[in-house]
A and B are shown apart, each in its own frame.
Chain A
């Protein structure tokens, strides 16, 4: 018996190193698996965010007249293409490079050698940059020169977006942005991506002016219907779908928290649309499909900042208020004689600002803390000053060069598909309108 016990002890002692090395191997394997899972999640997230380009393309092209459809699609397509290159070349370094000052990144420009994990992040963030860039294209549709727009898109991807991003999100290598250091909360980019895009859009529509005849000689507003509302709806669905990647993958790891983030995202979008529907019913107005889609998009934009740090109840409240903003602000913007074709300024600019403030108000660890909210407000104002300011300068400069910012009256009449791209979106369709459309907006 004693011998057996000794033998067992001897066996255990001898196999200890083997166990230890197996444990170490297991830990290393688990970590590798963990890294792989996180990588897959981040890259899938990036792929979903890229799909948002298609969503925006559908929403915008469906919202314009058929004679400008190709032009809108081309703007969406090319700002992703050029924006991607510019972000790789300059934007990533400015945004995520070593940031010792807190104001700007100064390394990792045109990166060619990085470790595997940082490639994932670059890919993911490149898609975010493309999203911020494409937001402005819809607002300025039907009257902006294609080349001038693409140049402005390069400025957004290469300067406006990454510099603000460096303030709010800071470096992934060394250093923190000054806003982030103050405790600014913008989990997936209500302000960094969406508000920046919205303010660029605002600057653009101010410099461009409204479309021909959008506002009549007596100050009346002429409604311009989009040519394809099913396309707008499809775009809305695609954006909603892709937004799960936009928000949930911003965890940059495949953790258990992604479920609540996705839930908050969904609830906010639902609440936005329902809030608009109730608003329209109470006011006795028609429930317009385009505004419904925009309201849900407003909810998505709004929740983007706080989707990881607020409870579902407050996600619903955030979305509902965003929906009400979408219900009311476009009329105010119209009163100011600003022509925003897709209400990008409201959906992205103002809902992004609201969402950022809401992220502070409803921060679950410390709700309604005025200090946190004040930092959020500071971030919102800084984004406006930077995004709107630089964009305004950019558009003013472009007005003077490259043949001007706005197309000629004749080109606007003929349609930008033909004048900018020598293509027609629907060459075989006839225009047969057999009913009176003049009073269709009476219940709007």
Chain B
């Protein structure tokens, strides 16, 4: 675990939260001081050794694995938070490119236009099901090529939606046709929107 991210204080707080279910009061304080003294400057993989040191009763030895798991969980949560906080906020600070959204809409529309009329309802339902299964919130009542559907999506989810669309298209019409349609549509989008970074989409 690359815990160089975390300061000694952050690690100590994570350990405190992890052990608070099992140790309280002065015992917990004593354990935390011991950790800071002996292991504060060491990497996280020595946590196991630390646990062995402090679990000096039968009860604690029995709970050692659970305690270690809890501490590691807390450490992981703190790391994630630190990473999120330190990530350059390009996506939230930069305004969503109108051109990119238009390109995305055109791409979806172009693909949906190649879907047979008889399959359209099923296709819409299937794609939305796939997108929702990915954890992306959508306007469920809107069809894929409607503005309401597009507006409900974040820029960061465009590529995932396009992949879900591809996956469903493959199931309906086979990968060969899907590749052909996507290749053609990609060239059209590229020509129509030369300034759009297609990495957001494909």
> Which residues of A approach B to under 8 Å, CB–CB?
65, 67, 211-214, 216-217, 222-225, 409-410, 413-414, 431, 433, 437-438
Contacts and interface: CB of A to CB of B under 8 A. Distances in A.
A223 B180 contact: no
Given A217-B126, A414-B202, A431-B184, A409 B163 contact: yes
26 contacts: A65-B175, A65-B179, A212-B166, A212-B170, A213-B167, A213-B170, A213-B175, A216-B174, A217-B171, A217-B172, A222-B175, A222-B176, A223-B174, A224-B174, A224-B176, A409-B164, A409-B166, A409-B167, A410-B160, A413-B166, A413-B167, A431-B184, A433-B180, A437-B176, A437-B177, A438-B177
B178 interface: yes
A209 to B, nearest CB: 13
A214 B174 CA distance: 6
Contacts of B202: 414
Nearest to A213: B170
B183 interface: yes
Contacts of B171: 213, 216-217
Interface residues on B, range: 20 to 34
B100 interface: no
A431 B174 contact: no
Contact of B170 (A222, A410, A433, A437): A222
Contacts of B179: 65, 67
Contacts of A224: 174-176
Nearest to A225: B176
A219 to B, nearest CB: 11
Contacts of A438: 177
Interface string B153-176: 000000110011011011111111
A410 B172 CA distance: 17
Interface string B180-198: 1011100000000000000
Contact of A431 (B159, B178, B180): B180
A186 to B, nearest CB: 38
Nearest to B165: A413
Contact of A212 (B160, B167, B183): B167
Given A223-B176, A431-B180, 6 more contacts: A213-B173, A213-B175, A216-B172, A409-B163, A414-B202, A431-B184
B136 to A, nearest CB: 14
Contacts of A225: 176
A68 B84 CA distance: 35
Nearest to B126: A217
Nearest to B183: A431
A386 to B, nearest CB: 34
Nearest to B184: A431
Contacts of A65: 175-176, 179
B19 to A, nearest CB: 30
A68 to B, nearest CB: 11
A431 B159 CA distance: 22
Nearest to B164: A409
Nearest to B166: A413
Contacts of B166: 212, 409, 413
A438 B202 CA distance: 25
Contacts of A216: 171-174
Interface in B75-108: none
B180 A212 contact: no
The 3 closest A-B pairs by CB, nearest first: A213-B170, A222-B174, A213-B175
A39 B126 CA distance: 63
Nearest to A215: B171
Interface string B127-153: 000000000000000000000000000
B175 A214 contact: yes
Contacts of A410: 159-160, 163
Given A222-B170, A431-B184, A212 B175 contact: yes
Nearest to A410: B163
A216 to B, nearest CB: 5
B167 to A, nearest CB: 5
Contacts of B174: 213, 216, 222-224
Contacts of B163: 409-410, 413
A413 B167 CA distance: 8
Contacts of B170: 212-213, 222
Contacts of B172: 216-217
A437 B176 CA distance: 9
A211 B180 CA distance: 16
A211 B174 CA distance: 10
B40 to A, nearest CB: 32
A438 B176 CA distance: 9
A61 B170 CA distance: 21
A409 B165 CA distance: 11
Contacts of B167: 212-213, 409, 413
> Which of B164, B175, B182 is the most central at the interface, judged by chain A CB atoms within 10 Å of its CB?
B175
A410 B179 CA distance: 13
Contacts of B176: 65, 222-225, 437
Contacts of A414: 202
B54 to A, nearest CB: 31
> Which of B164, B166, B202 is the most central at the interface, judged by chain A CB atoms within 10 Å of its CB?
B166
Contacts of A223: 174, 176
A216 B123 CA distance: 12
Contacts of A437: 176-177
Contacts of A67: 179
A395 to B, nearest CB: 23
